[in-house]
């Protein structure tokens, strides 16, 4: 596997045919294919990477999730069969959690253990797309016209209480037809969210307040959307094959903007005009100078944004369903690379509960909201924090687990000893976690 020296990003594409491969990795600067991942075909919005080491693809025709390690492209690591077909898929930026839309429900897994942490439902029809904002917030859109913003902390914390149901942070109902795509801008919890719909609009939302900022109206239904890294320009892929552009810094006094409503704008906003059928997916290069589009016309096109010209076309055998740009990682370059992360077999049943009624396993969520952050290190709380950090560190680094599919080189005795060691360390972490929780409650009650 080789890339050009100037390439620091690669492009992953999928189509509906699955004739030669399921997923293809490209150097989109030169137009050369770097590797193939075979087996089936991938549904739209159903492709995701885990920390640049694993590749997940939801099958287009069957209720199967394909899993590859990036360096073992000729050998699929596993297949996970679900009762229903996955319609959308996303992985948190830190690679710790995976979220999938299955019909109208959202499934949440912890990647390292494979535990199914929660199943939540707020949509009334099939979920079409899910996107992570940061490590603890994600957004879902569905055929029921709804856009729902979820807190992963609430979802994981509340699921096991039968009397409680996790409520979303926001539910946006302004669209009148199915949601086709969601783009999350830069800025985490202060970012802008853009939703695309068949109702011929893209809507921009302020995630912090949940308010609608602007409504962009187009001549036809919109099937995909993306913004540049500076959130200065919006690109909307339409059902007629056009890619419309909107200058977000343009001064306007109206919350609603009609794109291409006057003759002077038509040529500019339809500059990215080269597809014969609907634009199904869009992606932006890190430098912000290249736009990648996929279409039902079986082509992926690379556009130069400054000139609006198509500089390269990558033909496919079927309708293109996903385009995904990723930084180059060691797993992509070295065929002998061994993943540093554990990837558990994703389970179909909810996380188990032990005899004492306690959830088996510990879920650690990063980047908690400010209200959940504990006080800085002091002599009074130092022992608890140091013990907690030591327990977490030992759990994460003391296990030298060889990388083989299913750990086939471990005999039954070694597996039994490993499980025993994991349980002992888990008990230690749970004890320290309880002490830390009691300490935090005490400090909060004093304020």
Can you give the pLDDT at residue 256? 84
> Whole-angstrom Cα distance, residue 156 to residue 153?
5
Q: What is the DSSP letter of 373?
A: P
Q: Is the Cβ–Cβ distance between 105 and 150 less than 8 Å? A: no
Structure tokens at 367: 């980047």
Return the closest-CA partner of residue 170 out of 144, 135, 143, 141: 141
Neighbouring residues of 138: CB distance < 8 A, sequence distance ≥ 6: 90, 92, 99, 130, 131, 132, 149, 150, 152
Angle at 343 between CA 342 and CA 347, to 5 degrees: 140
Return the closest-CA partner of residue 116 out of 131, 128, 105, 130: 105
> Whole-angstrom Cα distance, residue 30 to residue 374?
49
DSSP string, 289-307: SEEEEEETTSEEEEEETTT
Can you give the pLDDT at residue 370? 36
Structure tokens at 406: 């299913």
> Whole-angstrom Cα distance, residue 85 to residue 127?
11
Can you give the pLDDT at residue 94? 92
> Whole-angstrom Cα distance, residue 353 to residue 54?
29
Structure tokens at 120: 């939540």
Can you give the pLDDT at residue 16? 93
Task: Report percent pLDDT > 90 for the chain.
Answer: 50
Low-confidence spans in the chain with pLDDT less than 70: 1-6, 73-76, 159-163, 260-271, 351-411, 444-447
Structure tokens at 45: 């919005």
Name the helix (H) or strand (E) containing 10: strand 9-15
The helix/strand/coil state of 351 is coil
Pairing of β 256-258 and β 212-217: parallel
Can you give the pLDDT at residue 196? 97
Neighbouring residues of 295: CB distance < 8 A, sequence distance ≥ 6: 237, 241, 275, 276, 277, 278, 279, 280, 301, 319, 320
Number of Cβ within 10 Å of residue 125's Cβ equals 13
Q: Is the Cβ–Cβ distance between 160 and 353 less than 8 Å? A: yes
Can you give the pLDDT at residue 187? 84
CA 194 to chain centre: 15
Return the closest-CA partner of residue 349 out of 179, 159, 151: 159
Can you give the pLDDT at residue 78? 80
Q: Is the Cβ–Cβ distance between 184 and 131 less than 8 Å? A: yes
Nearest 10 degrees: Cα torsion 69, 72, 75, 79 = 0
Can you give the pLDDT at residue 398? 36
Can you give the pLDDT at residue 407? 46
Cα Rg, the chain, nearest whole Å: 23
């Amino acid at each position: 596997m080789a890339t050009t020296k100037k390439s620091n990003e690669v492009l992953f594409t999928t189509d509906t045919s699955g004739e030669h491969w399921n997923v293809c990795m490209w150097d989109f600067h030169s137009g050369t294919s770097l590797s193939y991942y075979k087996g089936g075909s991938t549904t739209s919005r159903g492709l995701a990477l885990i920390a640049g080491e694993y590749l997940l693809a939801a099958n287009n025709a069957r209720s199967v999730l394909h899993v590859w390690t990036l360096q073992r492209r000729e050998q699929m690591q596993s297949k996970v069969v679900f009762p229903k077909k996955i319609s959308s898929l996303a992985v948190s930026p830190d690679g710790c959690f995976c979220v999938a839309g299955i019909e109208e429900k959202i499934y949440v897994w912890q990647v390292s253990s494979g535990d199914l942490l929660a199943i939540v439902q707020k949509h009334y029809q099939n979920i079409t797309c899910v996107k992570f904002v940061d490590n603890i917030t994600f957004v879902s859109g569905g055929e029921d016209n709804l856009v729902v913003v979820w807190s992963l902390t609430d979802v994981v914390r509340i699921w096991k209480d039968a009397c409680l149901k996790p409520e979303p942070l926001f539910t946006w109902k302004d669209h009148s037809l199915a949601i086709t795509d969601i783009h999350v801008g830069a800025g985490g919890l202060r970012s802008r969210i853009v939703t695309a719909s068949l109702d011929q609009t893209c809507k921009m939302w302020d995630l912090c307040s949940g308010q609608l900022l602007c409504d962009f109206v187009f001549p036809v239904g919109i099937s995909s959307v993306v913004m540049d890294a500076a959130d200065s320009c919006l690109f909307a892929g339409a059902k007629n094959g056009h890619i419309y552009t909107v200058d977000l810094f343009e001064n306007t006094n109206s919350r609603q903007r009609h794109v291409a409503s006057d003759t002077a704008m038509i040529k500019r906003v339809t500059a990215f005009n080269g597809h014969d059928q609907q634009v199904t997916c869009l992606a932006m290069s890190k430098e912000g100078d290249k736009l990648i589009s996929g279409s039902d016309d079986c082509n992926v096109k690379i556009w130069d944004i400054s000139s609006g010209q198509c500089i390269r076309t990558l033909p496919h055998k079927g309708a293109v369903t996903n385009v995904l740009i990723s930084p180059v990682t060691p797993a992509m370059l070295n065929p002998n690379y061994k993943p540093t992360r554990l990837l558990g077999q994703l389970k179909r049943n909810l996380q188990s509960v032990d005899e004492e009624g306690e959830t088996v396993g510990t879920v650690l969520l990063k980047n908690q909201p400010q209200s959940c952050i504990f006080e800085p290190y002091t002599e009074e709380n130092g022992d608890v924090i140091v013990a907690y950090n030591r327990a977490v560190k030992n759990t994460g680094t003391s296990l030298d687990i060889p990388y083989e599919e299913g750990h086939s080189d471990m005999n039954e005795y070694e597996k039994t000893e490993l499980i025993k060691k994991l349980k002992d360390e888990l008990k230690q972490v749970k004890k320290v976690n309880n002490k830390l929780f009691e300490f935090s409650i005490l400090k909060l009650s004093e304020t």
